[in-house]
Amino acid sequence: MSVEPISDQLATEMVDALGEVYGVHAGHRATHAKGTLCAATFTATPEAAARSRAAHFQGAPTRAHVRFSNGSGVPDAHDGARDGRGMSVKFYLPDGSTTDVVALTLPVFFVRTPADFLELTRARRPDPATGKPDLARVGAFVAAHPESVAAMQLSLAVAPPASYLGLVYHAIHAFELVDRDGSGRYVRYRWEPEEPREPLAKEEARARHPDYLRAELVDRLAVGPAAFRLVLALAEPGDPVDDPTAAWPQERETVVAGRLEVTGIATDRERDGDVLVFDPTRVTDGVACSPDPILHARSRAYSVSLERRSGVPRPA
């Protein structure tokens, strides 16, 4: 099933609305503005190779970049602020191409469609009189869109993390893995840390340096690599593959598809004019996008944001 790309107008309106929530910060992403880029190596398991013919799932070590980030579009926000966190991974494939996995600490998303995303984002615009969102306006949106309740409740319960390296990250969208015989099965990715960490108390986090999460990354990786397992949740018939607001049952079969070893802070990209984009629709042979409207909207919206922050076309 194909999905029509969103219009340039809708993509522009989505990015404009984010700017009205977070402010416009030249040179920065519209969301996940504050982040740290790391170097990494991914090594797939035999189980991954059995399920997908994708190059990075065949077992040879694959070079990667990982960007850990805070969810908001405010580049100087305190790391202890209540916020979702992101983990974006770019795999560098043997033929010179790349493929990306973009994940969040929330296991489900707020909306099903780009139009709903725009409506919710506009509802979150700060009231000029208070500088804060109008809770009545947000509440009206939630009442009209009950599918948003799960993500809303989870986001309100977010505690400040002690480390980016100790969180579970969910890729929220479904992707179809295709094997060498052409058979496919939908999965959802998640990254599970080998060193999970308990969150901080709000007061403790706020007492730390505003950039304490980057500092912790630098200190931890100076000791040695940290690692995540890539876990695949396997869809069963009837599981929604086009709705990021809907969780799959917890009892779904899972497979460990590989190990990502984060080795240090990266200094070879995002400098001297280099621009790095993580796009979940940038898939490779052996992986196919699901017919999820939110998934397919992200690429065009990212391009609008990129053009504004860098003035260059979208690179790999």
- Burial grade of 276 (CB within 10 A; 0-12, 13-18, 19 or more): middle
Helices (H), 163-283: 202-207, 212-223
Quick one: which of 88, 35, 98, 37 has its CA closest to 62?
98
Work out the number of other CB atoms within 10 angstroms of the CB of residue 56. Answer: 28
Please, is 64 exposed, middle or buried when counting C-beta atoms within 10 Å of its C-beta (0-12, 13-18, 19+)?
A: buried
> How far, in Å, CA of 217 to CA of 79, rounded?
13
- 32 is known as an active-site residue: yes
- Distances in Å between the Cα of 311 and the Cα atoms of 76, 88, 314 are 22, 22, 9
Pull the structure tokens for residue 159: 């505690």
Tokens representing 282?
Answer: 């940038």
Q: Which of 28, 32, 78, 296 is catalytic?
A: 32
21 in Cβ contact with 121 (< 8 Å): yes
User: Looking at the annotation, which residues are catalytic?
Assistant: 32
